[in-house]
Amino acid sequence: MPEVKRKYVTPGELVGKGKYNRTSNVYQIEDKFYSTRVGMAEVINDSLRVIPLTGPYIPREDDLVVGKIIDHSAFAWEVDINSCFSGFLLAQSVFGRDYSPARDSLTKKFAIGDLVTAKILAFDRTRDPLLSVSGPGLGRINQGEIVSISPTKVPRVIGKKGAMIKTIENYSKCRLTVGQNGLVIISGNPEGIILAKSALDLINHEAHTADLTQKVQDLLSRLNNGEK
Amino acid sequence: MASKKSLVVEYLKYEQMLKEISKGKRIDGRKLLETRPLSIEPGVIEKANGSAKVTLGNTEVIAGIKIQTGVPFDDTPNKGLLIVTSEILPIAASWAEPGPPNAEVIELARVVDRGVRESKIIELTDFCIVEGKKVLAIFVDISVLNVDGNLFDAASYAAVAALLTAKMPKYKITKEGEIEDTGKQIPLVTKLIPVSTTMALINDTIVVDPTLDEETVMEARFTITTTTKNSICAGQKGFPGGFSLKQIELAVDTALKNGESIRKKIKKSVELAQKK
Amino acid sequence: MSKLLNSKNRRLDGRKLDELRPIKMEVGVIDNANGSAYIEFGRNKVMAAVYGPKDVHPKHMMKTESAILKCRYHMTPFSTGTRKNPAPSRRETEISKIISEALEPAIVMTDYPRTAIHVYVEILQSDGGSRCAGVTAASLALADAGINMRDLTSGCAAGKIDGKVALDLDEVEDMEGDADLPMAILPNLEKVTLLQLDGDFSHKEFIEALKLAKKGCLKVYEMQRNALNDKYFGNGKA
């Protein structure tokens, strides 16, 4: 059984020392590692990391995100993806190579205020994130409710191999689309949406606690049985 | 028009700086705690009540003093007013522009002001004419003519030298209770000579009197004003970096020593000017 | 010559020379902000909020390799004895710069290229040492926002009253006292990132005040950790 060391840390606190192959949310001075965030420090085998409990969404290539169209030029839509930067969706990627601004109007496809599911096509330190809506399940969102959670809680909402999200979907009989940027779309019947929202709210507030899975299960079955 | 981007120090120069520092020197040949050549020339603006031009290396500033009558503050009815301002003139550097002062210039003005004010070089109650009604307002305005680092010290020396050689009108109250200018000019009563020492932290090493290049690469800066060989009256850490406690203690030591040596220089140039 | 100490070296509010005023801290008080905190140091009431990292306006101010930090220290008109004009004063401009320079060494600026991190410190009520309370609150707000930092920034002032070195001067002690030394440190890295002083210190007194202020900063740091603990770790254990 690998030794696991876990403790809550704040920025500047010592997490561990030695050689590690995988580190995240820490910085190093000589052989010592210190946390850069408020979170749960976890040291297992050759991995030393801090799981943050708060923080902005920093886009990564291939991330699925939910965004809101907030502006457009003749050549691209500007999309608010709840990050430090706006994402951009090129008209060319939607209308095709022979796209012409004279002929193809951007608002016909996506208007300001529309919600879309998109993938991060490209992002690096030198430019704004580029988005793509080509692919199954991507594109304009036509129905459902949008819930915002801290991007740091997204892994717990999804769960191991999607276990948590399946649990919520089963109880609520709704479909959930979870953006890595902390925006979640719930579509289905109104009662189910309320159920799903309660579960998401619980996870957002208690993601770091033990027995989260059990707590969510208990909450969902209570609500399902008509109890409050 | 050149922007502040041209202030970027070439990497090769920076490497050279670090190399010299590890050997206890700087690229202009100075030792770590050595100041640049300093010249202080009081009395350059005859129409002002007091003035002084200071050159510290290539940094050049002029301080001018104007003394006028004024109304005291409500909470200090028997004290005169001391107002110290600083300005970087557009002639001083390619990137200096006319306009309202930015945060850096405001900091410069306030740090120099505190260094002079807190030293109690002058006793403000000496400048009261009629308590609650009329006092003397002493304006010390510093104009930077050429920027090459360490504006804090140059400005401070200029302000102090100007105060030490300034003259103010002598007032008397007539039999009818009126305030009358007797037409006589008397020197200001000054109590001591405050001296400011600015240090930069480069590669964890303290250097005194940084040039503009050194200020551009430094991690942090500390300005300390001393009044005697054993007392401090003002201090300010600047720039986004940090000092260890030991470095602070070394800085204070250095400022006290440097203060004594500069104090002698200021005294000498004031005495020379007063002989004329 | 005013008396700020009685014959037993107790201050006007009953404190000993090396005692802090009562301090309260709460993290996450402004819903819209990415991070926020509220602090009381004695009768100082300070609110700090962080917005960012976000994109830079005007664009030419942007740095390609790092974030820029924009800090604003501002006093509300009702915060002081005499009403304060809401327009930014030169003092506030200087303190904004000082606080920014105290926080920046703690932030890993190069992790957020081409962005701006906005820190707003609002003094709702002022009673001596507001810049130390401000930098302390700002550091909590940055941690609450989840911005990568090497350390927290903890602030506390020392000074000299009636000839004796004392910790955490209130407004009366600041105005009537002999000297004032506001300080902030990065507690784990042991670096001083905010240090000002005015008044009259002998060499010995300065060193004594410096060490006392550092002790105060370390006590403040413990409280910052507890405040973060309360918000983030309160509901469960590892």
Work out the minimum CA distance from A227 to partner chain C, whole angstroms.
Answer: 23
Considering only residues 55 to 84 of chain C, which have any Cβ-Cβ distance to chain B shorter than 8 Å?
69
Q: Which of B103, B231, B248 sits opposite C195 (nearest CB)?
A: B248
Q: Do B249 and C210 touch (CB under 8 A)?
A: yes
Judge whether residue C203 has pLDDT over 80: yes
The tokens describing B194, both together, are 């405050």
Q: What is the pLDDT of residue B275?
A: 84
Residue of C nearest to A82 (CA): C54
Work out the minimum CA distance from B8 to partner chain C, whole angstroms.
Answer: 13
Rounded Cα distance between A175 and B17, Å, is 63
Among A88, A152, A148, A91, smallest CA distance to A121 is for A88
Judge whether residue B188 has pLDDT over 50: yes
Question: Which residues contact residue B40 at a Cβ distance below 8 angstroms, ignoring those fewer than 6 apart?
Answer: B52, B53, B54, B157, B158, B161, B265, B266, B269, B270
Which band of pLDDT confidence, cut at 50, 70 and 90, is reported for residue B174? confident
Among A4, A15, A16, smallest CA distance to A44 is for A4
User: What subunits make at least 3 CB pairs under 8 angstroms with C?
Assistant: A, B
Q: Which of A7, A14, A52 sits opposite C146 (nearest CB)?
A: A52
Q: What is the pLDDT of residue B90?
A: 86
Mutate: best of A7, A24, A38, partner C, most C CBs <10 A: A38
Rounded Cα distance between C227 and C225, Å, is 5
Q: Which of C55, C64, C146 sits opposite A56 (nearest CB)?
A: C146
B/A Cβ contact: 3+ pairs below 8 Å: no
Asked if A109 contacts A69 with a C-beta cutoff of 8 angstroms, the reply is no
Q: Tens digits of per-residue pLDDT, B192-206? A: 999 999 999 999 999
- The verdict on residue B11 lying in a domain is no
Q: What is the pLDDT of residue B13?
A: 87
* Domain extent listing, chain C: 23-228
Judge whether residue B2 has pLDDT over 50: no
Work out the minimum CA distance from A221 to partner chain C, whole angstroms.
Answer: 22
Q: Which of C146, C235, C236 sits opposite A54 (nearest CB)?
A: C146
Q: Which domain range does residue B80 map to?
A: 16-275
Which is more confidently placed, B170 or C93? C93
Q: Determine contact: C192 vs chain B, CB below 8 A.
A: yes
Mutate: best of C64, C203, C207, C214, partner B, most B CBs <10 A: C203
Q: Which of A39, A84, A210 sits opposite C54 (nearest CB)?
A: A84
Which amino acid makes up residue C193? T
Which is more confidently placed, C212 or C2? C212
Q: Where do we find the tokens 């403040």? A: C220
Interior/surface letters C19-29, b for 16+ CB within 10 angstroms, e for the rest: ebbebebebbb
Give domain A4-52's CATH architecture: Beta Barrel (2.40)
Q: What is the pLDDT of residue A205?
A: 85
Work out the minimum CA distance from A97 to partner chain C, whole angstroms.
Answer: 30
The tokens describing A77, both together, are 């839509």
Q: Measured between alpha carbons, how far is residue A132 from residues A12, A73, A74, A77, A135 in Å?
A: 38, 17, 17, 11, 8
Q: Determine contact: A206 vs chain C, CB below 8 A.
A: yes
The tokens describing C128, both together, are 């001596």
Judge whether residue C195 has pLDDT over 90: yes
Q: Determine contact: C208 vs chain B, CB below 8 A.
A: no
Rounded Cα distance between C47 and C122, Å, is 5
Asked if A109 contacts A94 with a C-beta cutoff of 8 angstroms, the reply is yes
- Neighbouring CB atoms inside 10 A of B212's CB total 17
Phi, psi of C200 (to 5 degrees): -120, 115
Q: What is the pTM of this model?
A: 0.91
Q: What is the pLDDT of residue A32?
A: 96
Q: What is the pLDDT of residue B121?
A: 94
Judge whether residue C235 has pLDDT over 60: no
Q: Where do we find the tokens 């205020």? A: A113
Beta strands in A18-114 (DSSP E): 22-24, 26-29, 32-35, 39-44, 47-52, 64-72, 76-80, 87-90
Q: What is the pLDDT of residue A101?
A: 79
Which amino acid makes up residue B95? W
User: Percentage of chain A surpassing pLDDT 90?
Assistant: 70
Q: Tens digits of per-residue pLDDT, C67-104? A: 999 999 999 999 998 888 888 999 999 999 999 999 99
Spans in chain A with pLDDT lower than 70: 1-2, 227-228
Contacts of B118 in chain C (CB under 8 A): 198-200
Mutate: best of C103, C232, C237, partner A, most A CBs <10 A: C232
Mutate: best of C101, C139, C151, C212, partner B, most B CBs <10 A: C101
Rounded Cα distance between A23 and B204, Å, is 28
Contacts of B239 in chain C (CB under 8 A): 101
What CATH superfamily is the domain C23-228? GHMP Kinase, N-terminal domain (3.30.230.70)
Q: What is the pLDDT of residue C236?
A: 44
Considering only residues 213 to 232 of chain C, which have any Cβ-Cβ distance to chain B shorter than 8 Å?
214
> Which whole number is the average pLDDT over C199-214?
97
Judge whether residue B43 has pLDDT over 90: yes
Fold exhibited by the domain A145-224:
Ribosomal Protein S8; Chain: A, domain 1 (3.30.1370)
User: Percentage of chain C surpassing pLDDT 70?
Assistant: 97
Contacts of B109 in chain C (CB under 8 A): 90
Judge whether residue C228 has pLDDT over 90: yes
Of A170-184, B20-34, C11-25, C52-66, which gets the smallest average pLDDT?
Answer: C52-66
- The verdict on residue B6 lying in a domain is no
Q: Measured between alpha carbons, how far is residue B1 from residues A34, B89, B97, C46 in Å?
A: 45, 16, 10, 42
Q: Do C207 and B252 touch (CB under 8 A)?
A: yes
Any idea of the CA torsion for A201, A204, A210, A215, to the nearest 10 degrees? 10
Q: What is the pLDDT of residue C95?
A: 98
- The verdict on residue B8 lying in a domain is no
Q: Measured between alpha carbons, how far is residue B102 from residues A142, B85, B122, C63, C74 in Å?
A: 50, 13, 29, 19, 16
Considering the four listed CATH numbers 1.10.760.10, 2.40.50.140, 3.10.129.10, 3.20.20.70, the one that applies to the domain covering A64-140 is: 2.40.50.140
Question: Which residues contact residue A227 at a Cβ distance below 8 angstroms, ignoring those fewer than 6 apart?
Answer: none
Q: What is the pLDDT of residue B97?
A: 82
- The verdict on residue B269 lying in a domain is yes
User: Tell me, what CATH number does B243's domain have?
Assistant: 3.30.230.70
Which amino acid makes up residue A116? V
- The verdict on residue B9 lying in a domain is no
Asked if B167 contacts B187 with a C-beta cutoff of 8 angstroms, the reply is yes
Q: Tens digits of per-residue pLDDT, B226-264? A: 999 999 999 999 999 999 999 999 999 999 999 999 999
- The verdict on residue B141 lying in a domain is yes
Judge whether residue B217 has pLDDT over 70: yes
Contacts of C153 in chain A (CB under 8 A): none
Question: Which residues contact residue A196 at a Cβ distance below 8 angstroms, ignoring those fewer than 6 apart?
Answer: A147, A168, A169, A172, A174, A176, A186, A188
Contacts of C52 in chain A (CB under 8 A): 84
Rounded Cα distance between B85 and B111, Å, is 10
Rounded Cα distance between C67 and C142, Å, is 14
Q: Do C200 and B245 touch (CB under 8 A)?
A: no
State the distance between the two ends of chain C, measured CA to CA, in whole angstroms: 56
The tokens describing A181, both together, are 């940027």
Q: How are beta strands A22-24 and A47-52 bridged, if at all?
A: parallel
> Which whole number is the average pLDDT over B53-76?
94
In chain A, residues under CATH classification 3.30.1370.10 are 145-224
Q: Determine contact: C106 vs chain A, CB below 8 A.
A: yes
- The verdict on residue B10 lying in a domain is no
The tokens describing C89, both together, are 């004063």
The tokens describing C6, both together, are 């009685």
Question: Which residues contact residue B141 at a Cβ distance below 8 angstroms, ignoring those fewer than 6 apart?
Answer: B63, B64, B65, B66, B84, B85, B86, B87
Work out the minimum CA distance from C9 to partner chain B, whole angstroms.
Answer: 24
The helices-and-strands tally (H runs, E runs) of chain C is 4, 9
Q: Do B231 and C200 touch (CB under 8 A)?
A: yes
